[in-house]
Structure 1
Amino acid sequence: MPTKELKVDASTENYKIVASRESESPQRYRIELNNNYSEKEDWPNILTFCYNSISLFWAKWKLPFNYAASSNRKDKSSFSIGFVTVLLVVTFLTLLQNALSNTSIIFLHIAEQTVGQIDMLMTPSDLSTFLNFTFIEEATKLRAQGSSPRWVLYGEIEKDNNFVERSTNPTKEMKIDRVSMAFLFMDSEKERQAGLGVEWPFETLGEDEILVSSSSLRAIDLQPNVGQRVKMSVDLNSLFQDNGIQTGPLSNSTNNSRNNLDSFLNSIIPEQNITRTIDASDLIDATRLFPNLTRIIGIDNSTQSRFNVTVNSKVLIQNLLQTIDENPWLLIVNSTFTVVGSLDGTYSKVPTALGNYAVFEKIVLKKIMISFISSLSSNNLLEPILNNLYTEIKNLEIDQFAMSVCVIFKDRLSAYMKSTTERKKDFILLTNSIVGSLGDDFDATFSLPLNTALQTSSFISILLDEVLFAVVVVLSMLAVILIYSLLLADIQEKTFEFGMLRTLGLNKNNLLRLLTIQSFYFSLPAILTGIYICYVIYVPLSYVLSNMTFTEIRPYLTFGALILGVSLGIILPFVGSIIPVRRALTKTLRDALDIYHNVVFDTTVSIKRLQDIGVSIIQTLFALFLVVIGILVYYVVPLSFIFNLLSMFFRVLTIILLCLVIGQILMVSSIQPFLERSILSVILYWGSDRILKDVVLKNLQSHRPRNRKTSLMFVICLAYVLFAATMFTMQANSLSDNQSWFAGADIVVTGGTMNNPLPDTALRSYLNTVLVKYNNSSRCIVEDYSFATVPLNSLKNLDDLTIIDNLYFNEVTVSVMALEENYLDVSFNSYYMVEKVRPELNFQTTGSGKINFLPSLNTNLSLELTEPPSLVYSGQYAPYDENRLPSNTSKAYLSGVPIAISNSLYENYYFGVDSMVRLIFYFRDMNRQYITHEIPSLPIILLKKLSGFPSISRLVRNRTPLFISLDMYKKILEYSDRLMMPEKPTKISYSRLFIKVKQSVSDFQIEGLVNDINGIVNSDAFNVVNLKADIAATKTASDLIMMFFYVVSFIGMIFCFFVLWLSFTANIRENVWEFGVLRAIGLQVMKLYIYEAVTIVISCIIQGFVIGCVTAIALTLQFNLFTEMPFAFYMNVPLFVVLILFSLVVSCLGAYLPAAEIKDKPVAFVIKGLK
């Protein structure tokens, strides 16, 4: 044949493509390259060659395409089943993946509701009083979206018509009709420009307007937006606290605030000498504010009526500050405002730690300060200073004296959508650049409130990712089995047709192409349709999510979601078609043309010599499986801990868990026949249908190879859904129990330290007032309360505190604290467990009948603490040698201090209730010299668990809590104080407050109580825990996850229905002759197949229930090993009932529909196999 020569000019070289037919087959060509060819271009020949190549390609695939299209037109059921299968998998998993990619937005919104929409918070450091916002705004404008100054003061509000002028007595008890709260002064315009608090629904306030939290308005019975006015008492002392945060109750000034106020006044009032002629009345008026004024100007004993005096302004300022120290009520300013709105939440504007709060514009702060200056007595002597101060404050640029600055980052949403590690890296780089723009000498404290709050949600994100991974694996397995059954049934049904095609010349390659095209014929349209449906569903979901979180969410599918959906839509049909294609290709032509062929009666004889093969497939697969598991456990798990990759660690656990479930499924499949016979015997034990039992058993036996796929799908779906739902239900209840155990009571106030203890006096005053005034009324929601002290280990002059046996063999550090005697009545008794008590002591009991060991700690206190030992020799302090051994002098103790210890001290160090131990305090005195003090102690009880103290656990060996009486606690404090500051009065410091509320109280009442307490503590150093609200949030998340499993079970049941339908359709078609004979002898054939399907499904339900429950119980028991919580079995009964109903309906429909096609045909037609 002549050779066609084509020339292609590629850049600078010429190439010749020679295409010649080497045989009669139009499919074979020879291609050569010749770079010496230099003729002119011949583009038409190139196009002809390309056209011929495309034509050859289409010639190979035209027949498979046409055959698949024709086959699907004739039998639409197979196409519909495959299409729906791939459609459901692609749509659901793509939508789920896309939704989970936006869970970070939900967590971000929750965090913003907790700490406010504040990316970076700047507060003054210990060396500064205020921040210059004007400078900060200019320095950060290139790197931040915006920033805003804030001021937080503390005080009280009450109704205007009930207002009583505050007396000069700073110890006056707080009235119940007044509400303590935080006053937030802000620049609404700046915050709006920065995007801070996008949920804020209020307009800019006027100078006479105020917004108050709704719980506070309810407490004082006041309505917003009706012109009612409220009286505010604001404590300016809090303006000069460190970081703008008050460290004590109202009017409790500190040295830090005095120094800050001194610095502020000196910065705006220049030093000057004031010379004035004053009379006696001026002097009397001035001495009200300046008690030492007469001494300063030297006229103490003068009797003149007029004086010429000269006073330095700095001296007057110092005298004023001294007066304020002695009379802190002078800094309390009263004002009246109109309530124009109620604050029902934080609106992502402020942290929840503020509790009750009110909002003003920043201009009101200047108004309050001017009002404070005007309230001071003005006379001839004070006029220059007061006028100067008034003018300076009136012209003051208050932005240059901000108490805190909130910064919003640019492109913040993309940063928060990243993983924890990547987000941390981005924020480090961003904050470094911001701090660099402020300068190295900029004095402030920086924090990232939102990033810190989001760290608590990282574990939940990992958990959701693992749920998605498990669902992808399970649904993929179900889809593969379904597609496998679909193609296998299609091949078995068309065996004769394929044989005829092969007889007509269709080779195996074309048959392979045909089957491949047939499997992808329904998958490609299903992928496109699934992606489109997913997008249509996600658009309204993104709109709802955007409105809920007040975040702009673009309604598009993420790249990861598209990859997941497309890859599953392509891979699943491919994997599912491997075995059917292999079976079609391995059939001989004789078997394919046998119209009486039945796959059930296939007999395969294969004779192979093991030494010729050398490898066992089963052995190889098992070995590979063990190798993979070994790599996961011994390499990947340690690697995840080394690099702190929790996601990798939990992914390994999920894989092992799925392997565990699949292994159990394969194990119980061996008892499937026995289980089916037992269930059928029960179902057909009575009634007229019991004669069908033998026939149904024969059908079960003959159809078992095909029904095995149906059973496997049902068991996988039921086992996973029941296991996951039961585990989540048990874990959710266990999480609620752990929250209650960790908290200890309904409401808990935490955060007290030795340097900054809880304001117990103010808290007791408030709670006692509530208990006394509203006792036995609906407004009394508090049942009782109790305090816990700060551990003695927090003492500054205490290096260590240990417990040791009498032989000095076991010594371990403990955390020594004291509880009030009513603590066990306030805390949750269900988490109070005792291991062993001292038998000779008579213990009191709590209201629930359990042992109350706290009163017994006050018994047998005959040993008094001695004075510090004298270590002075020749005028020098002798240092204490920590390594010295105790002397051999005998020490006999007749009694000891009662203590309560954790049972872990007995299990690990053998400190029991039948032995004497010693508490050793390693003190230092004011000269930093060691002083060791020993207290003989007697354990009276071993605690296994105690509410509010999770460190009382067998897993905690060091610094476990140890309880002593309050009297002994105070004596040790006095001993410590005598070592450091002998003149200092000793006061017990409390770290936590536990409050028990009545069971009948509403959420609004608890919210009001929590806000009142937040207003009393007046510091973000303390945290008020509302246990009921926390548990409600956990329950909401659990309910959402349960809804997710309902959807998964529904999709799984659809797959199971399709497989059951395919199996029974194939069974009926292969046994159509038997079907006709049974009808001819008068049997109700429909009942036969329905009984068969119901028997299979019930056996699968039992297997799935056992596997799911056993696995869930095993995991919960493993979890309880760490928490030591009592085991309790919780099951999601509604979901289990729904699964049973789904399964029974699927079994009946799956058996009825295939049989209904031929049940009404004449028996003769059915026996002859005619359509």
Structure 2
Amino acid sequence: MIHLLDSTLENVELGFDEDQSQIQRKFNNINQTMEESFEKSYKPGQSFADDSYSNFLDKDDDSSNDHRADARKSLKDPEEQKKLRSMKCWPATLFFTTYQWRDLKRRKCHFSLAFCSVFFIVVSTLVVTTVIDKGPYIFLELAQDSFGEIDAIITPGVSESKQSFLSYTAVENRIKDLPEMQYRVSPRKVLQAVSAYGNNTNQESGLTSQLKVDGLTLYLIDTLKERSIELGKNYDYQPLQQGECIIHQNLATNFLGGIGIEQKITLQVDIQNLYNALIDFFNVPRTAKQQLKKPTLYTQTNLTCIIKNLSSASHGKFEEETSLRSVIMEISPFNSLLSSNLPKEIMTQKDGAEFAHFLAGTQSYDFSDQLVMTMPEPRITVYEQASYDDIQKSVLTQVNNFIDDFGFHAVTALTPVLGEMQKYNLAILFFNLIFRIVIMIFIVISVMLIYSLLMIGIETKTMETGIMRMVGVSKRGLVQMIFVQSFMFVVPALIFGVALSFPALALCFIFVFTEKLEGAFAPIPSTYSIILAVSVGLLIPLFSSILPVIKVLGQNLNDAINYQRSRVKSTYVEILKANQVNIVPYLIFGCIATLYGFGVYYLLPLALLSFNLGLILQVFFFILLGYLFGLILFAINAQRMVENMLLFLTLFWEAPAMKALINNNLKSHTQKNKLTSTVFSMALGFLIFLMVQYRLLRQQNSVQRIDRYGSYPYIITPSPMYNLDYMKIEQALRANNDSIESHTWMAFEAARQPINPVDRVNLLDVSQVQDHVMRLYAIQPNAFEVLSKELQVVSYQASGLGYGESLYSARGSQSIILGTYFKALLDTDPSEGALDYFKLKLLRTKQSLLYRVRPTVLFDQVSVFKMGSKEPGSTTSSQYHVLSSLPIMAKYLSVRSVKDLAMERVILKMKDTATLDQSEKVVRDILAALPSDTTENLKVKKDKAQLFASVDRTISLLFTVLIMITMFLCFFQLSTSMSANLYEQTKEIGVLLSLGFTRMRIVMLYSYESFILVMASSMLGVLVGTIAAFTMVLQFTQFNDMPTNFYFPWQQLIGIFVASIVCALLSTIGPTRSIVKHKIASILRM
């Protein structure tokens, strides 16, 4: 049967070089050819690929009928009928496969385009989805920059607990009993307030001097164990031997006179608690008279070590700030080193030598100060989850399970990285929201592209399909043929796409994330991406075949085999019968709209009431999709109007006849071009939207940091106990005048001053009915010149002086600065001539003072200080601030001088030309000028511009990859559409050539059409993306109550427009030239 149909179709196969008489002769001889073929190939009992042929065979001679009757008698048995039906499927499938394979060899260009399209879609889906899954890693890098790669720190419990150390030996034995839990911990000892002495030789004089630095931190680590748990992935140093150490390059250069490798330093450590625990163990078998006495409270131990390496970074093992003043030693030989360097207070005792021997035999692991913990391998998978809540649940579950399994009752678990990740909670959610839209774009574009390929493949073979229907191929056979056609290019593309995704992922991980190809960054597609790619590669072609199948089945046979008329139709007439209206689409749309409305109406209040930020963003995501869907519908309906406008504006030099031809082409190709314009509008609109969204997130993060700190560097002390020494810091700042533009001081609030503090500060109205608790701070005149002016929004100003300077004028001695919120609350408006003063009440236990003050500046918004136009929160940290000058605060507190006020923070503003190294040097000089007990407690906030620049680079590369992928997909869609348009109009092209049109003018005609189509779609896409992005900017401004500037990606947009024009020309010039190079007669017969 396969041979029969194959030979028949070979006989009726049409070629471009055949004339009309040959074609007509083939049609006249079809019946005769079929009868002869059946008589030669038919045998009794033979099964056929399609039931339609049995009707055809009923017209044969009587002998054939007898044979068929004999054959059918045996099919009355249901088993035989079932067997026959199963036999029909395979020959038909083999026939259609052979037919499509021959068609593939004839139409290599169409197959190549389809193969490349699906191949590119599969590769893009695998790569983009897998890379997006690693997106939260960007925020993990930001968190790890401050706290290292330590997921949890287990320390001994609170002060009432008698437990001072943790035994890692017991932990290690227990871990062996619980291999399924994958606990990864390592012991550490952390000794603070360490002093270091180094000998420095003057190269000119040759004299040796001793240098000392205080406030260091000594870390005792197990290098191999921490490497096995992936703590400090860039820490490449080998394990240290007894008496060896590693110090930071900053410490060696700036504090120890440039001391180098293989030189010795002496560390002075205070390990009173360790001595007490060791002596308690030593004294257990001894009587009271034989017990070793514990050393006094301030006994110091001197340890000499040789510097083996100079570290230049924290390598993810420590906090970035503490690593600058850190010394690293190995924990395992520490007790042995300690036994040979015991203080005289112990060694001079009778049993001192015996204790030293006992100490050398103990395990340092049994006296660990903390256990550092990382998540199970691969660690990054914990932080790849879509929301902070999921990340928090995974980390805390692992930590709590560890504590439960090991029976720790009096321990404290710290999760520094998790705490830092919480700051990026909103950013993580929006990042996942944005790139979920990216994946949806790929799916939609994939459906449209594959649908377009199948539809064009069907429309360009209408005559062949009509002939197949004439010779008896049933509807089921046609459906089977279309599915076979789909899988002919889908299956190879899927296989090659999966194979290429491995090296593509390797390149992305190396150049985008700059990571080694191991662990979580092994170049293997994620499970979700594989499922999605297989769905895109296999299921989407099946679903995309539905409409082409419907079109084939509904095609008129006469129109299908009519080769004399052009297939281009610019006018359509549709007749609708009331009793045959298909209501299924309306029902489906109604159900979708109902579910959508119910989801928004029910889930949005639920999310708001439960404070579920993840659910809120999910609802916003679907609202956003509906919004974008409406904008895209607007773009589709406005396409023709924009095309007419561009035709008039951009081709003004062309002859009216040429413009008329272009306009007619655009009209006649409206249906086919609708898919192309939709793909371009959707792709470009989403790209603009995503780029603006990312810039918006980046800007919001920067604004939030500026709102919190005002400027960088920013140094704050937590308590007046660690007062910032004004004179010493000013001396360090004067030494760096070349890089500092300005700086300002801010005193502790009045309730926390060490001298004569107040209990509370209240702000009252004139009648003293309204009473509000405030926090009174004192500032310098230049405070608001140092702070970022981007967030300074003023609603009222009493004088033309600077905001801070106005407090130091004659009027300012009676004035304060506060937020606009209290203007209406206290029923006064200085700008309208109303009562322009308040009352400030300073409450103390013995005596309370009441002052009448006037507002000199009212802020709607300002950084650092809590002042604004909205109501503050209910917590103490949310209480609004009120500002005065330093002399006025000294007066309020009854202190003798401004110098007696304790300074809480100093804020610096670096020059625009200052480098990151100069900023780091200023911070180092300030810390070096202060005593060690102060520097240990200071909080230093630095500008993370360099780190965020790295994040920007990563995200920009991701967007560059997305733009390239999207433009490739758009190019395939445009090439498919324009090729179909050209081959449908071959007769019109032949007529134009016969009328005198040159071949170049034909190429220009279709190039103009492609250009107008692409430019109109691109403009509407940009409009859709801009409107959606601007709406999101407004939403962000309402959420954060901070100014948000609208960013438009001009550079990327210009690149996209240039790429679109190139795609338009490439997709048209080649196919047009391949047609016009033939003779006119051959073109008319195409």
Give the TM-score range, shorter chain.
0.7 to 0.9
Q: Secondary structure at the match of 2:235?
A: coil
Query: What corresponds to 1:882 in structure 2?
Result: none
Q: Report if the CA contact (8 A) 2:567-2:985 is conserved.
A: no
Q: Which amino acid in the other structure matches residue 654 of structure 1?
A: F
Task: State the Cα distance separating 1:923 from its structure 2 match.
Answer: 6.6
Contact 2:154 2:372 in 1 (8 A): yes
Work out the CA distance in 1 between the residues paired with 2:903 and 2:245.
Answer: 35
Shift of 1:529: 2.0
Kindly state the Cα deviation for residue 901 of structure 1 after the two structures are TM-superposed: 1.2
Aligned to 1:587: 555
Q: 1:900–1:941: 8 Å Cα contact kept in structure 2?
A: yes
Once the 2 structures are TM-superposed, how far is the Cα of residue 84 of structure 1 from its aligned partner? 1.7
Unmatched runs of 5 consecutive residues or more in structure 1: 3-20, 33-47, 164-174, 242-259, 276-311, 325-330, 861-896, 926-930, 976-984
Structure 2, unmatched stretches of 5+, are 1-43, 46-67, 203-209
Paired with 2:75 and 2:740, the residues of 1 have a C-alpha distance of 92
Instruction: State the partner residue of 1:181.
Output: 216
Give the distance between the partners of 2:307 and 2:173, measured in 1 at CA: 37
**Does the Cα contact within 8 Å between 1:159 and 1:220 map onto a contact in 2?**
no
From 326, 343, 358, the equivalent of 1:373 is 343
Report the CA distance shift for 1:1135/1:61 in structure 2 as closer, same or farther (over 3 A): same
Give 1:100's aligned residue.
132
CA-to-partner distance for each residue in 1:134-166, whole Å, 9 max, x for gaps? Answer: 575367534543431312222455752269xxx
In structure 1, distance between residues paired with 2:463 and 2:365 = 89
2:1004 matched to which residue of 1?
1087
The 1:457/1:1152 distance shift into structure 2, 3 A limit, reads same
1:803 aligns with 2:763: yes
Alignment of 1:681-692 (within 5 A): 681-686=648-653, 692=658
Q: Tell me which moved more, 487-496 or 932-941.
A: 932-941
How many angstroms apart in 2 are the aligned matches of 1:1057 and 1:159?
68
Aligned length: 983
CA displacement, residues 448-476 of structure 1 (integer Å, 9 cap, x when unaligned): 33443444455444334323321222222
Equivalent residue for 2:440? 473
Q: Give the secondary structure class of the aligned counterpart of 2:187.
A: strand
The residue aligned with 1:1117 is 1034
Match of 2:918 among 979, 994, 1005: 1005
Q: Is the 8 A contact 2:335 2:360 kept in 1?
A: no
Matched with 1:789 is 748
Partner SS, residue 1076 of structure 2: coil
CA shift, 1:415, in A, is: 4.9
Given that 1:736 and 1:1034 are in contact with CA atoms closer than 8 Å, whether structure 2 keeps it comes out as no
Work out whether residues 89 and 479 of structure 1, in 8 Å CA contact, stay in contact via their aligned partners in 2: yes
Write the mapping of 1:450-489 to structure 2, written as runs, cut at 5 A.
450-489=417-456
| 1:1046 and 2:960 are equivalent in the alignment | yes
1:1139 is displaced (CA, Å) by 0.6
Do structure 1's residue 1159 and structure 2's residue 1079 form an aligned pair?
Answer: no
CA distance in 2, matches of 1:851, 1:136: 61
SS in 2 for 1:604: coil
Secondary structure of 2:638's aligned partner: helix
User: Aligned to 2:983, what secondary structure does the other structure show?
Assistant: helix
| TM-fit CA distance, 1:566 | 0.6
- Give 1:695's aligned amino acid: L
Q: Which residue of 2 aligns with 1:1024?
A: 940
| Cα separation, partners in 2 of 1:1077 and 1:160, compared to 1, 3 Å | same
**Alignment check: 8 A CA contact 2:148 2:318 kept:** yes
Q: Identity of aligned pairs, percent?
A: 20
| 1:836 alignment partner AA | Y
Tell me, what secondary structure is at the counterpart of 1:1158?
helix
User: 1:586-633: per-residue Cα shift (whole Å, max 9, x none)?
Assistant: 122223233225341563342433xx5798678656644542432232
Question: Partner of 1:940 in structure 2?
Answer: 856
User: Equivalents in 1 of 2:96, 2:456: separation in Å?
Assistant: 19
- Note closer, same or farther for the CA distance 1:825–1:460 as it changes in structure 2 (3 Å cut): closer
The answer on whether the counterparts of 2:463 and 2:561 sit within 8 Å (CA) in structure 1 is: yes
- 2:536 corresponds to: 568
Contact conserved, 1:145 with 1:194, CA < 8 A, in 2? yes
1:1101 to 1018, 1038, 1054: 1018
1:519 aligns with 2:486: yes
CA 1:832–1:666 in structure 2 vs 1: closer, same or farther (change >3 Å)?
Answer: same
1:189 & 1:343 partners in 2: Cα distance?
A: 18
- Confirm or deny: 8 A CA contact 1:719 1:1107 kept in the other structure: yes
Does residue 771 (structure 1) correspond to residue 733 (structure 2)? The answer is: yes
Q: Which residue number corresponds to residue 302 of structure 1?
A: none
SS at structure 2 position matched to 1:722:
helix
**Would the aligned equivalents of 1:974 and 1:986 in 2 still touch at CA under 8 Å?**
no
Does the Cα contact within 8 Å between 1:1113 and 1:1129 map onto a contact in 2? yes
State whether residues 858 and 965 of structure 1, in contact with CA within 8 Å, keep that contact through their aligned partners in structure 2.
no
Q: Could you tell me how far 1:564 is from its partner in structure 2? A: 0.6
- Is it true that 1:608 corresponds to 2:567 in the alignment? no
Instruction: State the Cα distance separating 1:552 from its structure 2 match.
Output: 6.1
Q: 1:340 aligns with which of 302, 305, 308?
A: 308
Q: Which amino acid aligns with 1:130?
A: S
The one-letter code matched in structure 1 to 2:884 is: I
For residues 507-557 of structure 1, the C-alpha deviation after alignment (integer angstroms, 9 at most, x for no partner) is 222222222322233222222221222134335656887954974655533
* Per-residue deviation, 1:733: 3.5
Which amino acid counterpart does residue 1038 of structure 1 have in structure 2? D
Q: List aligned pairs for 1:286-365, cutoff 5 A.
A: 337-356=305-324, 357-362=326-331
> CA separation in 2, counterparts of 1:473 and 1:358?
51
1:485-513 CA-partner distances (Å, limit 9, x unpaired): 22222222222222221111112222222
How far has the Cα of 1:347 moved from its partner?
Answer: 1.5
> Do the aligned partners of 2:740 and 2:908 also contact (CA within 8 Å) in 1?
no
The residue matched to 1:445 in structure 2 has which SS?
strand
Say whether the 8 Å CA contact 1:1097–1:1143 is kept in structure 2: yes
One-letter amino acid of the structure 1 residue matched with residue 253 of structure 2: R
Match of 1:161 in 2: 200
Please, which of 909, 917, 920 is the counterpart of residue 996 of structure 1?
Answer: 909
Question: Partner residue of 1:886?
Answer: none
**CA offset at residue 674 of structure 1?**
3.2
Q: Higher RCO, 1 or 2 (CA under 8 Å, sep at least 6)? A: 1
- What residue in structure 1 maps to residue 21 of structure 2? none
> In 2 relative to 1, CA 1125–705 (structure 1 residues): closer, same or farther, beyond 3 Å?
same
1:108-147 map, 5 Å: 111-124=143-156, 125-127=158-160, 128=162, 130-133=164-167, 137=171, 140-141=174-175, 142=177, 144-147=183-186
Task: State the match for 1:964 in structure 2.
Answer: 884
The reply to whether residue 669 of structure 1 matches residue 708 of structure 2 is no
Shift of residue 1142 of structure 1?
Answer: 0.8
* Structure 2 counterpart of 1:182, one-letter code: T
Amino acid at match of 2:94: K
Deviation per CA, 1:155-199: give whole Å up to 9, x if none.
455752269xxxxxxxxxxx9995753332334465456654343
Distance 1:230 1:660, change over 3 A: same
Q: 2:778 aligns with which of 801, 818, 821?
A: 818
CA contact (8 A) 1:148 1:407 kept: no
Q: What is the root-mean-square deviation of aligned Cα atoms in Å?
A: 4.5
Match of 2:708 among 727, 737, 742: 742
Q: Does the CA contact (< 8 Å) of 2:215 and 2:935 recur in 1?
A: no
Do the aligned partners of residues 759 and 706 (structure 1) sit closer, same or farther apart at CA in structure 2, a change above 3 Å counting?
Answer: same
The answer to whether residue 598 in structure 2 is matched with residue 631 in structure 1 is yes
| 1:1001-1052: CA deviation from partner (whole Å, max 9, x where unpaired) | 332333344456677566776532212x2x3333332332232232223233
After superposition, give the CA deviation of every residue in 1:966-1024 in whole Å (9 maximum; x if it has no partner): 4555677789xxxxxxxxx9975555432233333332333344456677566776532
1:360-439 alignment to 2 at 5 Å? 360-362=329-331, 373-374=343-344, 399-408=365-374, 411=377, 413=379, 415=382, 420-421=388-389, 424-436=392-404, 439=407
Is 1:1170 matched with 2:1076? no
Of 699, 721, 735, the match for 2:687: 721
Q: TM-score, normalised by structure 1?
A: 0.74
Q: Distance in 2 between matches of 1:1020 and 1:108?
A: 26
TM-score (norm: length of structure 2): 0.79
Q: Residues 657 and 794 of structure 1: is their aligned pair in 2 closer, same or farther, counting only changes over 3 Å?
A: farther
- Which of 883, 905, 916 is matched with 2:837 structurally? 916
Q: Is the 8 A contact 2:820 2:869 kept in 1?
A: yes
2: CA distance, partners of 1:968 / 1:535: 69
**Cross-structure match for 1:304:** none
